[in-house]
Structure 1
Amino acid sequence: MKSRPRYGQYCPLSMATEILGTRWTLLLLRELLEGSTQFNDIARGVPLMSRSMLSQRLKDLEQVGLLSKEAEGPGKPTHYRLTEAGRSLGPIVRHVAEWGQEWIDTEPSLEDIDTDFLMWDVRRNLRLPDDLPARFVLHFCFPDGPKGKTDHWLVVEQGEIDVCYIDPGHEIDVHIEAGVQDFTRVWMGWLSLTKARDEGRLHVDGPPKFTRNIPAWLGLSSVSSISKRPDELLVLRTS
């Protein structure tokens, strides 16, 4: 693994840290564990990572035996899949995420939210009902979002969910509008959806058959059920 730190210890923790402690590695493992297998999909889960760095890190993971690369043939997409050793890291990656949700003061992270990643995270956690129309369109509007990133559309069609950053021109079934920080608080479980709606911080429009069950089908972040510790105990803070 290129530029891997060496700690010079026989301790298994030391050896594991040499592999897993490199920047971006845990986030790449998260994306692969979430089911992303193609380069572009993995990249959407780490939007601030350069494509050259992503390519190198995938090679590194393959080199150490956590990842295999499979090509279906000429002109076909390449798939990156975790090996048994890579899949066994699932509980570890989740426990690290749960620890961060419980113990770290995450308010500073709300100051610079990447809405592309937010929508990608929403996409993979949706728990939509089965009785949807042939095409179901969710429109998310963040009036205070970055320039060119205030509107996002999730289009559900034939069992696939596509994230669009340009209006696809379809009729909208459900419209959700909120400030970026407020929606992120809801998504992460730091603010209840009901409270956000009651306080006018989040607005939902659409037929009642879809909107009345939003807390169930929106899914929320995979760690949203983990309660945050009281502020006085959050001794670790992000910068």
Structure 2
Amino acid sequence: MGGYGQFCAVARALEILGERWTLLIVRELLLGERQFNDIRRGIPRISKTMLSARLKTLERHDVIRREDGGYRLTEAGRDLAGVVRELGGWAMRWDRRELEPDDLDAGSLVWDIRRRVVPEALPAQRTVVALRFREPTSIYYLYVRRPTVTLCPDDIGLPISLTVDAELDALTRYWIGELGWPQLVRSGAVELTGPTALRRAFPTWFAGYILRDAS
């Protein structure tokens, strides 16, 4: 990417951070991802080649560094937390368009859900949740064992404790704060099958989209 040819600090910042995908990579690192493949799971449409190139650029500008086989933000990188939050808050306040099918991705939604757990709310016993999306059809498995939730795209043969059948659009809108959980259940956009205690507790296991209150 060519320079802007300006002394302005905004232009200089954009020369480092303004390329496509770059701030999303920073977002993933701020949310705790460290490994190449984990960063990519949060940004599923970026190619491996592009991710590698963007990481090298960030490393060259001392925004990130390689550490313990992965990547970590430097002090300069961590200082972008407020920038990312303010950008997200701006979009939540001013981007009025409705979510479109191209904005929806089951994999990235579930990836975000599993990293926003409330450890003390998780069941004490091992619990397996099958999360099924209706259209397009896909299924993911959440292996819940306090204090963590592990995401797996494949069934490893353990008994399913709870099945959550959901419309992708509705669950995404719930996650970002546009819909309430009772509204989803009443409308049939989400259906839960399993013991009553698990059905009632499920939405309390997760803290919600990190920017849902940024507006």
1:131, distance to aligned residue in structure 2 (A): 5.9
1:128-143 mapped onto 2 (5 Å cutoff)? 128-129=119-120, 132-143=123-134
Q: By how many angstroms is 1:46 displaced?
A: 0.9
Please point out which of 82, 92, 96 is paired with 2:73.
82
Does the alignment pair 1:186 with 2:183? no
Q: How does 1:76-225 map to 2 (within 5 A)?
A: 78-129=69-120, 132-146=123-137, 150-157=138-145, 159-225=147-213
After TM superposition, the score normalised by the length of structure 1 is 0.83
**In 1, Cα distance between the equivalents of 2:132 and 2:97?**
23
Counterparts of 2:33 and 2:122 in 1: how far apart (Å)? 26
Aligned to 2:26: 29
Q: What residue in structure 2 maps to residue 16 of structure 1? A: 13
Q: Distance in 2 between matches of 1:106 and 1:118?
A: 19
Structure 1 residue 206: Cα displacement: 2.8
Deviation larger for 179-188 or 150-159: 150-159
Query: Structure 1 CA distance, aligned partners of 2:88 and 2:114?
Result: 19
Identity of aligned residues (%): 37
**C-alpha distance in 1, partners of 2:118/2:62?**
33
Q: Which AA in structure 1 matches 2:196? A: P
Amino acid in the other structure paired with 1:179 = E
Q: 1:233 corresponds to which residue?
A: none
Among candidates 28, 39, 47, match of residue 50 of structure 1: 47
Q: Does 1:39 align with 2:30?
A: no
CA distance in structure 2 between the aligned counterparts of 1:29 and 1:118, rounded to whole angstroms: 18
- Comparing 125-134 with 96-105, greater Cα deviation is found at 125-134
TM superposition shift of 1:210: 2.8
Q: Name the CA shift for 1:225/1:214 in 2 (closer, same or farther; >3 Å).
A: farther
Distance in 1 (alpha carbons) for counterparts of 2:119 and 2:128: 12
Say what the alpha-carbon RMSD is for the aligned residues. 1.9
What letter matches 1:69 in structure 2? R
Amino acid corresponding to residue 209 of structure 1 in structure 2: A
For each residue in 1:76-96, what CA deviation from the matched residue of structure 2 results, as whole angstroms up to 9, or x when unmatched? Answer: xx1100000000100110111
Runs of 5+ unmatched residues, structure 1: 72-77, 228-239
Task: Please report how far the alpha carbon of residue 132 of structure 1 lies from its aligned counterpart in structure 2 after TM superposition.
Answer: 2.2
Distance apart, 1:159 and its partner CA: 3.9
Give the letter for the 2:172 counterpart.
T
Q: Which stretch shifts more, 91-100 or 104-113?
A: 104-113
Q: 2: CA distance between counterparts of 1:215 and 1:112?
A: 23
Shift of 1:38: 0.9
